[in-house]
Amino acid sequence: MPRKALGRGLEALIPKTETGVESTGITQAPIESISPGRLQPRKNFDEKTLKDLAASIKEQGIILPLIVQRKDNGYELIAGERRWRAAQMAGLTRIPVMVKEFSDAQALEVGLIENIQREDLNPIEEASVYRRLIDDFNLTQENLSKKIGKDRSSIANYLRLLKLPRMIKEDLIQGTLSMGHARALLSIESTEKCLEVRNIVVKKWLNVRETESLVNKLNKAKKAPLKKTKDIFLADVENKMQKSLGTRVRIVKQKKGGKIEISYFSLEELNRIINRIS
């Protein structure tokens, strides 16, 4: 099933000039005059897909202009870093850009929307951007949900990923584990246990359903009542009585006092025990 598009596209985030975002149109900019965006949400770029894109750009050129804003003597990239990197690999010296002016919040939001709509962010990158939007721009999850057209519960699930151990976050970045695996592992409270289960999942190539089953078994075992360890003194007395009487003896401790249970397995054995006691 294709991923549901966000409620707002880039057009909604790059309004006309009367809304306060300055636009100076499309121009051909020297590629060396463009620097990566400070607020670019994406941190990992797959080398193979970049090479494929570079080959396409060398053949067809860049069809969709990059979005930039003026900075110092050049431009800062707002959206289109993959195309910018691939264009460099393809040997282009000038590329088409759409020049706009953004606040930090708008720049971050545009970068986020572009990457999410193209499914270019890994889960940790996406979660990190949500966290940054919330913290830096004083948004609630509900505000953010309305702003980017994504369910609040989905945003909450992404934010929870940031609580995972570093190794599991690396798995999500590399694609070793999926979002479904991560959600299952989040229900394990102990970091040590979480990593133990992660190792089993990776080693045995467990799918999401198998991982959920494994985690459920672990959590049920944790909730099971622990057997009480018998008082060391009573255990010693119990052992001595068993040796003396030659049969099984069980001492049961209660709130006040307790009871002694002596087992016998025939009338003859009962008489022997009585004689021994008397």
Q: How far apart are CA 228 and CA 108, in angstroms?
A: 56
**Looking at the chain, which runs of residues are DSSP E strands?**
23-30, 34-35, 66-71, 74-79, 94-100, 249-253, 258-262
Tokens of 149: 């057209």
Q: What is the DSSP string of 196-254?
A: HHHHHHHHHT--HHHHHHHHHHHHHHHHSPPPPPPPHHHHHHHHHHHHHHTS-EEEEE-
In which residue are the tokens 């909450």 written?
156
Cβ contacts of 194 within 8 Å, gap of 6 or more: 164, 165, 168, 185, 188
> Which residues sit opposite 236 in a β-bridge?
none
Q: How far apart are CA 75 and CA 67, in angstroms?
A: 10
Q: Could you say which of 76, 81, 125, 238 is catalytic?
A: 81
User: 81 an active-site residue?
Assistant: yes
Q: Are 22 and 85 in contact (CB under 8 A)?
A: no
Closest Cα partner for 85 from 46, 120, 128?
46
> Which residues sit opposite 262 in a β-bridge?
249
| Residue 42 half-sphere exposure toward CB, CA atoms < 13 A | 24
User: Which residues participate in catalysis according to the annotation?
Assistant: 81
